[in-house]
Amino acid sequence: MKKVWILLFGLVSITELGSVTFNYSIGHSIAKPLIMPLLMGYFISATSKRPRYFLGALIFCWLGDVLLMFQGTELFFILGLVAFLIGHMCYMISYRMLRFRHPEGGLLNTQKISYSLPFLLAGTGLVTILIPHLGDLKIPVMIYALVLTLMVLQALFRYGHTSGKSFGLILTGAIFFMASDSMLAINKFMQPLPFASLLIMTTYIIAQYFIVEGAIKHYQTER
């Protein structure tokens, strides 16, 4: 059954990417709201685990997807931002739970600091270049950027506390998520990016798939 879910996820994702590329609004309206439910179906079919925070993250990301479809209205953009903010917080909690009970090791404190620097610089740099363009949204966007960066760091800190595949997939997914949100913010607040919708959705779909696949790989090797 999981093969059916992932096949449908792939078909819907391709439909969405084609729709945003060629500005096909009907295809976009149908495909985008289906991405996260299909990915959730894949997760549920691939493991017997039902982690509430992880599933909560998927649900709030789906809600954010739907709300951002109406981002021409500022209220819907803010509500979408809040939904994704909660989704990232649920992911953060999930990453702390997606760990072995008896880990073989992990990053030393000095390693955590040094490996965190690129992500901290990326998050800080994004906020720095956006601030002059944010207007009344300065505080909400700064909070969102902080939580987004912390989400990536929690994925990083799983090193040695899970399988290598799970660690790599979830960290890569978290980085793609950061890239997707960064492009969305730059495109909305600073200047339009070439092929913005295609790049944002491609990195977003990759991010969500890798995170879900990484969670599945963890449960398959949990000890």
Mean pLDDT for the stretch of residues 164-192: 96
The pLDDT-based confidence of 102 (bands split at 50, 70, 90) is: confident
**pTM of the model as a whole:** 0.95
The pLDDT-based confidence of 103 (bands split at 50, 70, 90) is: confident
Sign of CA dihedral 186, 192, 197, 198: negative
Residue 223 has pLDDT above 80, yes or no: no
Residue 19 has pLDDT above 80, yes or no: yes
Q: Say what percent of the chain tops pLDDT 70.
A: 99
pLDDT at 74: 81
Read off the pLDDT of residues 192-208 as tens digits, 9 standing for 90 and up. Answer: 999 999 999 999 999 99
Tokens representing 143? 């909070």
User: Of 17, 25, 42, 10, nearest to 180 (Cα)?
Assistant: 17
Mean pLDDT for the stretch of residues 11-19: 98
Read off the pLDDT of residues 116-160 as tens digits, 9 standing for 90 and up. Answer: 999 999 999 999 999 999 988 899 999 999 999 999 999 999 999
Burial class of 120 by CB neighbour count within 10 A (0 to 12, 13 to 18, 19+) = middle
Answer for the pair 36, 61: CB distance below 8 angstroms, yes or no: yes
Domain boundaries, the chain: 2-221
Mean pLDDT for the stretch of residues 71-78: 82
Q: Say what percent of the chain tops pLDDT 90.
A: 87
